[in-house]
Amino acid sequence: MKAKYSVVVPVYNEQEAIPIFYEAICPVMDKLNEPYEIVFVNDGSKDNTLKVLEELADKNKNVKVVSFSRNFGQQAAIFCGFEYATGEAVVSIDVDLQDPVEVIPLMIEKWKEGFDIVHGKRLKRKGETFFKKITSKIYLKFLEMISGLKIPKDVGEFKLFDRKVIDTLKNMPEHERYLRGLTAWVGFKQTQVEFVRNERSAGVTKYSIKKLLKLAGKSIISMSTWPLTLSLKVGVLGCFASLVAFLTFVILACCGIVLPLTAWLFPFIALSVSCLLISNGISNVYLKKNFEESLNRPRFIVDKVINFLNE
Ligand code: UDP
Ligand code: MG
C-alpha cells in the first residue's frame, strides 16, 4: 500500500539513537491513523546501524531501509530517501531527536491547510556551542548574499514537503544537491512551525569541523557563481582606483607637489594587475555560463495548471 506520509531519516553510525527514535516516532505516526512509512537511509555506517535497522524492519513493515555502499553524506542520504519515499507528504528529520517528532503532526496540519513546504524553525538550540551557532549564522548570511536566494533563518533539514515538491527535487539533474539552498530555489508555498531544538538523544554529532567546512564549500559552489565573477569586479574597481590615484598625482603635480618616482609607479602597477584580473574575470564569466548550463536545472517550475487537458 502506498503511504500517505513518509519520514526520511539519514543515519550514520547511529546504533544507539535509532531505537530511541523509533520508540518516539511510532506512537506519533500511529496516532495520525493513515498509512505511513519510515525510510531510514544508512549512510555507510561502520557500527551496528544496519543490523539495528534490519531488526526493526523485520518486526515492523512500516520501516524501510536503504543502505549505501559507503558514506556519501547526509545530503545524499536525504535525497536518496526522497527517491524511495512514496508518501503524499514527506518529512525529513535527523535521528537524534534534536528535532522533536511531536512537531510532525503540526507540520502535517500546515500541509493540509495547503502549504507545500513546512520548515521546522528552531527557537532555541540546546546543546550546541556558541561557535557553531555563530558560524552557521554568518555562513547562511553569506550564502544568502552571494546566491541571491532568501534562505529562511534558523531552519535545518527538518522539513515537510508535498509530493509535487519531492518530485521537483528528485528531478534536479545536478549531482551535488543541497537541501536548504534548493528548497529556497524551488519556491512553492512555504511556511514554518516553531520548536525548541533538543540536545542529542544519544551518541555524538557526526559533523566534524572538517565535514562542516566541506559541506559549506560545496553548498556555496552549487548555489552560487559569485566567487567566479569576483575577480572581474575587483579588477574593474582596481582600474578605477588606479585612475583616481593617477589623476590625484597629476593634480598634486600641477599644484607644485611632485611625488617621488616610486609613488608614480603605484597606479601603473595597480592598473596592470587590475587588467589581468579583468581578463581572468571575463574568462570566468564564460566559465560561469558553462557551469550554469551544465547544472541543467529547469528554467522554471510550474506549480499548477488550469483548464489544460493533462491537468
Ligand atoms: N548523517 C548522515 N551522514 C553523515 C553525517 C550525518 O546521514 O555523513 C546523519 C546523522 O546520522 C543524523 C543527521 O545526519 O541523523 C544529522 O547529523 P548530526 O546530528 O550529527 O548533525 P548535527 O545535528 O550535529 O549538526
Ligand atoms: Mg544532530
Q: Which of 96, 155, 211 maximizes ligand 1 atoms within 8 Å of its Cβ, making it the mutation to test the pocket?
A: 96
Which residue carries 510532525 as its cell?
104
Q: Render pLDDT for 78-110 as a digit per residue (tens, 0 to 9).
A: 999 999 999 999 999 999 999 999 999 999 999
Q: Which ligand 1 atom sits closest to the C-alpha of 14?
A: 11
Query: Taking Cα atoms as reference points, which of 11, 146, 36 lies closest to residue 91?
Result: 36
Residue bearing the CA closest to ligand 1, atom 3: 74
Ligand 1 centroid to Cα of residue 58, in Å, is 24
More confident residue, 111 or 201: 111
Residue 311 has pLDDT above 70, yes or no: no
- Sequence-separated (6 or more) residues with CB below 8 Å from residue 120: 99, 103, 107, 155, 156, 158, 159, 192, 193, 195
Ligand 1 centroid to Cα of residue 252, in Å, is 62
Ligand 2 centroid to Cα of residue 209, in Å, is 14
Residue bearing the CA closest to ligand 1, atom 16: 94
Q: What are phi and psi of 195, to 5 degrees?
A: -155, 165
pLDDT cut 90: percent of the chain above it: 52
Give me 31's grid cell.
Answer: 496516532
Q: Which ligand 1 atom sits closest to the C-alpha of 11?
A: 11
Residue bearing the CA closest to ligand 1, atom 21: 205
Q: Which ligand 1 atom sits closest to the C-alpha of 128?
A: 24
Please answer whether residues 176 and 294 qualify as being in contact, where contact means their C-beta atoms are separated by less than 8 angstroms.
no
Q: What is the mean pLDDT of the chain?
A: 88
Q: Render pLDDT for 167-199 as a digit per residue (tens, 0 to 9).
A: 999 988 887 788 988 899 999 999 999 998 888
The ligand minimizing its distance to the Cα of 205 is 1
pTM higher than 0.85 = no
Q: What are phi and psi of 181, to 5 degrees?
A: -70, -45
Domain range annotation of the chain: 5-224+298-306, 226-295
Amino acid found at 226: W
pLDDT value for 198: 85
SS3 237: helix
CATH topology for 5-224+298-306?
Answer: Spore Coat Polysaccharide Biosynthesis Protein SpsA; Chain A (3.90.550)
- Rounded CA separation 9/41 (Å): 6
Q: Render pLDDT for 245-282 as a digit per residue (tens, 0 to 9).
A: 999 999 999 998 888 888 888 889 999 999 999 989 88
Q: Which of 21, 94, 159 maximizes ligand 1 atoms within 8 Å of its Cβ, making it the mutation to test the pocket?
A: 94
Please answer whether residues 148 and 223 qualify as being in contact, where contact means their C-beta atoms are separated by less than 8 angstroms.
no
Give me 56's grid cell.
Answer: 526493526
Q: Which of 207, 208, 212, 218 maximizes ligand 1 atoms within 8 Å of its Cβ, making it the mutation to test the pocket?
A: 207
Give the mean model confidence (pLDDT) for residues 215-237: 87
